[in-house]
Chain A
Amino acid sequence: MGLLEAIILSVLAASTPLLLAAAGELVTERAGVLNLGVEGMMIMGAACGFAGAYLTGSTLLGAGVGITAGTAMSAIFAALTLGLAVNQVATGLALTILGIGLSGLIGAGFVGDRIVGAPHLHIPLLTDTPLIGRVLFGQDAFVYASVALVIAIWWFLHRTRAGLILRAIGDNHASAHALGYPVLKIRTLAVLFGGACAGLGGAYLPLAYTPFFIPGMTAGRGWIALALVVFASWRPMRLVVGAYLFGAVTILQLHAQGAGLGIPSQLMSSLPYLATVLVLVVISRARGTAGSAAPASLGAAFVPDR
């Protein structure tokens, strides 16, 4: 396996959790809800997903447990922000703090345990094709699932009636309500979907990326996923580009550290975070003249008038 192929493979692996979590958050935000608790839902997906896989010996069941954990976390968020009209920013922060604490509590018993990582696809001949074989036909199921998920979300949002209603609710909840659409019900479903995706993205880390759990292993990926949604201008297909770019930055800084260029490793490690700030600035600036692409009702609480 050549160096280039190895780099592409590791970029794909590093991008997948970002893509999964960002795809879910994109749907949530398109419905007009800003859930800042992605980091908390991801780390819960990681801890519970690992626990599930370790206890059952099955990656698939582990992923299911991770999805359930993320969904459960988002249900708390939905109850507060949609049921009680609580400030979404503050609730999202609380979700992150709770998720980091709870995952530490749950994961404490599993630190040091190892599992067998998710199996990779292998099709004779195809997978063995030089350069592109492993990239296209040798990934684990999560990688294919993440791309399929984004395409499905694109189709749902832009090609179905239900998707149109969801976007309408995100852009103007008062009008959507006046037309008779169940604003809070659809928002709840969108939040739960976002939680499920974040849980799966988090579970990817201990199930496929590294076959063990360490506390705090999401290391800000949930926040980067939030930034990716902005980067993608709330459009699903652009998420793929953004996620792979960020995966590339992460992997290249790791390789640069390994190459020993004499640059402090901490500076290299901070690159993904600095890149996020830079991307936010560039994207926001470029959009300044054309008006914001964000859903117009994003982050605003909705209490139906009667």
Chain B
Amino acid sequence: MRWVLERRLERSAGIALVSPLIAIALTLVTMAVLFTLLGKNPLTALAVYFVDPLMDSYSLQEIGVKSTPLVMIAVGLSLCYIANVWNIGAEGQFLIGAVAGSWIAVRTHGSDAGLWVLPAMLATGAAAGAAYALIPAICKVRFGASEILSSLMLVYVADLLLDYLVRGPWRDPNGLNFPTTADFDAAATVPTLIEGGRLHMGALIALLVVAIATILLRNTLKGFEIRLVGAAPKAARFAGFNADQMVLFTFAVSGALAGLAGIIEVAGPIGHLQPGFSPGYGFTAIIVAFLGRLHPVGILIAGLFLALTFIGGEEAQISLKVPLDLTKVFQGILLFYVLACDSLILYRIRFVSSHRRPADGIA
């Protein structure tokens, strides 16, 4: 037995809708097998991962907190991927946004600087993220260098820059030699939505980003251009759309969103700059973008789901004593299933006996 792919006459709308659900179901089955191999009761383990975090208010808020950067970054990346532009260095743009915004927080620390500090930090973070993303974009447009490889290389560079700053010039002198900046002042902190809660204003910004992206893609010429350049580059060229400008535009927007997410993360839930503050949000956001079918609203739902896996993974590490890396395994498997199921939107699988060549069947 072997299988061949048959192109469908048109996209299957039904499968487009259910494919993320099939992918999640297949992932849960695979995870159950993995848990069994690790010697855990699969049902209890899955409950710890996916149900327990929904049961108390702290975890529920935490899902909102963790999905905020995921959704913001993934919306930006989806614009790139729709236009067939491959920014995979969002993690670096996220870190650079955090670093650049923190610069203002570090410089104004202990001063009586007023309300302008936080907006300036957010604007700086977004601008720095966009500038950092434009490096691979310009290398691509100007010299034809693969944006995939150069954007990824810059993730390592951003990580090392962050490491240098918090171990060197920006280290908190009263921080007992820990590599971290001093805690940000109140004026440099993203306020929480509820007094004493965890959920912060960043969540509202993420929702705003989703709304704007939805309108951009559905109702504007720019949105049409993004979709056309990705789906039919030749037609886009005839229509007078410039593919190079599209690379610059999508990289700048996705970099700005990643940078903004970065500074919101350190000025919000974390409160200071430290190495390793990101559990790989920039990479997980790639999965979020695909699981959300590159649609802003889908990304919002996918972001909440993947945030759940981060929290479930932490709970499972404590209560089940399974390694934290299991969360990454889970995310990788999920992306495989999402991509595989997406293939069924365009193709139908037909099984054929291995003796007959498929070409013999139809004249």
State yes or no: do A and B come from one complex: yes
Specify which chain B residues have a CB less than 8 angstroms from the CB of A283 in the assembled complex. Answer: 145
Q: Does A56 contact B (CB under 8 A)?
A: no
Q: Which of B108-116, B147-155, B184-192 contacts A (4 or more CB under 8 A)?
A: B147-155
Q: How far does the alpha carbon of A264 sit from the alpha carbon of B86 in the complex, in Å?
A: 32
The verdict on A76 contacting chain B, using a C-beta distance below 8 Å, is yes
- Whether A97 contacts B283 in the complex (CB less than 8 A), given A91-B339, A108-B323, A270-B156, comes out as yes
Contacts of A105 in B (CB 8 A): 323, 325-326, 329
Known interface pairs A80-B336, A94-B332, A97-B335; A274-B153 also in contact (CB < 8 Å):
yes
Select from chain A the residue with minimum beta-carbon distance to B149: A227
What mask results when residues 79 to 111 of chain B are scored 1 for a CB within 8 Å of chain A, else 0? 001000010100000000000000000000000
Chain B: minimal CB distance from A157 (Å): 22
Is A303 located at the chain interface by the 8 A CB criterion?
Answer: yes
Asked whether B146 is an interface residue with its Cβ less than 8 Å from the other chain, the reply is yes
- The residue among B145, B168, B290 with the most chain A CB atoms within 10 A of its own CB is B145
CB of B7 within 8 A of CB of A223, answer no
In whole angstroms, how far apart are the Cα atoms of A83 and B336 in the complex? 13
Q: Which of B149, B168, B336, B340 contacts A280 (CB 8 A)?
A: B149
Q: How far is the CA of A104 from the CA of B81 in the complex (A)?
A: 29
Q: Which of A195-220 contact B (CB under 8 A)?
A: 215, 219-220
Residues of A within 8 Å of B88, CB to CB, are 93
Shortest distance between the CB of A226 and any CB in chain B (Å)? 6
Expressed in whole angstroms, the minimum distance between the Cβ of A102 and any Cβ of chain B is: 5
Classify chain B's interface size: 35 or more
Cβ B325 vs Cβ A104 within 8 A: yes
Whether a CB of chain A sits under 8 angstroms from the CB of B343 is: yes
Are A230's CB and B336's CB within 8 A? Answer: no
Q: Is there an interface contact between B332 and A98, defined as CB atoms closer than 8 Å?
A: yes
The verdict on B51 contacting chain A, using a C-beta distance below 8 Å, is no
CA distance A105 to B324 in the complex (A): 8
Interface residues of chain B: helix, strand, loop or mixed (majority): helix
The reply to whether B149 and A93 contact each other, CB–CB distance below 8 Å, is no
- Contact status B328-A97, CB under 8 Å: yes
Q: Are B336 and A101 interface neighbours, CB within 8 A? A: no
Q: Which of B104-145 contact A (CB under 8 A)?
A: 135-136, 139, 143-145
Decide: A85 near B347, CB < 8 A? Known: A105-B325, A273-B157.
yes
Most buried by A among B81, B328, B332, B343: B332
Determine how close the nearest CB of chain B comes to the CB of A39; give it in whole angstroms: 9
In the complex, A284 has a CB within 8 A of chain B: yes
Q: How far is the CA of A76 from the CA of B359 in the complex (A)?
A: 26
The answer to whether A94 and B336 touch across the interface, beta carbons within 8 angstroms, is: yes
- Asked if residues A230 and B149 are in contact (CB atoms below 8 Å), the reply is yes
Q: How distant is the Cα of A100 from the Cα of B144 in the complex, in angstroms?
A: 29
Q: Are B161 and A223 in contact (CB under 8 A)?
A: no
User: Which of B290, B329, B361, B362 has the most chain A CB within a 10 Å cutoff?
Assistant: B329
| B283 closest partner in A (C-beta) | A97
Residue of B7, B160, B362 ringed by the most chain A CB atoms within 10 A = B160
- What string of 1s and 0s marks CB contacts (under 8 Å) between B1-34 and chain A? 0011101000000000000000000000000000
Cβ contact within 8 Å between B339 and A90:
yes
Query: Contact at A270–B329, with CB atoms within 8 Å?
Result: no
**B46 interfacial by beta-carbon distance below 8 Å:** no
Query: Which residue in chain A gives the minimum CB-CB distance to B344?
Result: A84
Query: Which one of A108, A269, A276 contacts B160 once the chains associate, using CB atoms below 8 Å?
Result: A269
Q: In chain B, what residue has the closest Cβ to A279?
A: B145
Given A230-B146, A267-B160, also A223-B153 (CB < 8 A):
yes
Nearest CB of chain A from residue B165's CB, rounded to whole Å: 9
B164 at the interface (CB under 8 A from A): yes
Shortest distance between the CB of A144 and any CB in chain B (Å): 29
B347 touches A285 (CB 8 A): no
Residues of A within 8 A of B145 (CB): 277, 280-281, 283-285
Is A135 part of the binding interface, using a Cβ–Cβ cutoff of 8 Å?
no
**Residue of B3, B139, B324, B327 touching A281 (CB-CB under 8 A):** B139
In the bound complex, do residue A98 and residue B160 qualify as a contact, i.e. CB atoms below 8 Å apart? no
Contact of A100 among B4, B149, B150, B328 (CB under 8 A): B328
Does A101 lie within 8 Å of B149, measured CB to CB? no
The CA-CA distance from A101 to B332 in the complex, in Å, is 8
> Cβ of A83: which chain B residues have Cβ within 8 Å of it?
3
Contact A94 B339 (CB under 8 A): yes
Would A266 and B160 be within 8 Å (CB), given that A97-B287, A288-B143 are in contact? yes
B-contact 0/1 string along A72-89, CB 8 Å cutoff: 000010001001111101
CA of A100 to CA of B323 in the docked complex: distance in angstroms?
Answer: 13
What are the residues of chain A within 8 A of B45 when measuring CB–CB? Answer: none
Q: Which chain A residues lie closer than 8 Å to B361 at the CB level? A: 306
* Cross-chain contact B143 with A281 (CB below 8 angstroms): yes
Instruction: Give Cα distance in the complex from A226 to B151, angstroms.
Output: 13
B197 at interface (Cβ–Cβ under 8 A)? no
| Distance A94 CA – B339 CA, assembled complex (angstroms) | 9
A276 to B145 Cα, complex, angstroms: 11
Chain B residue numbers with a CB within 8 Å of A159 are none
Known contacts: A80-B340, A98-B336, A304-B358. The answer to whether A280 contacts B146 by CB under 8 A is yes
Q: Is B163 an interface residue (CB 8 A)?
A: yes
Interface residues of A (CB under 8 A from B): 36, 40, 76, 80, 83-87, 89-91, 93-95, 97-105, 108, 215, 219-220, 223, 226-227, 230, 264, 266-267, 269-270, 273-274, 276-277, 280-281, 283-285, 287-288, 292, 303-304, 306
The 4 closest A-B pairs by CB, nearest first: A98-B332, A101-B328, A104-B325, A101-B329
Known: A101-B329, A103-B325, A267-B160. 12 other contacts (CB 8 A): A83-B3, A85-B346, A94-B335, A102-B329, A105-B323, A105-B326, A108-B323, A219-B156, A220-B152, A281-B139, A304-B359, A306-B361
Binding site for A on B (CB under 8 A): 3-5, 7, 81, 86, 88, 135-136, 139, 143-146, 148-150, 152-154, 156-157, 160-161, 163-164, 168, 283, 286-287, 290, 323-333, 335-336, 339-340, 342-343, 346-347, 349, 358-359, 361-362
What are 10 residue pairs bridging A and B, where the CB atoms are less than 8 Å apart in the complex?
Answer: A83-B3, A86-B339, A89-B148, A90-B81, A97-B287, A100-B332, A101-B327, A101-B331, A284-B143, A303-B347
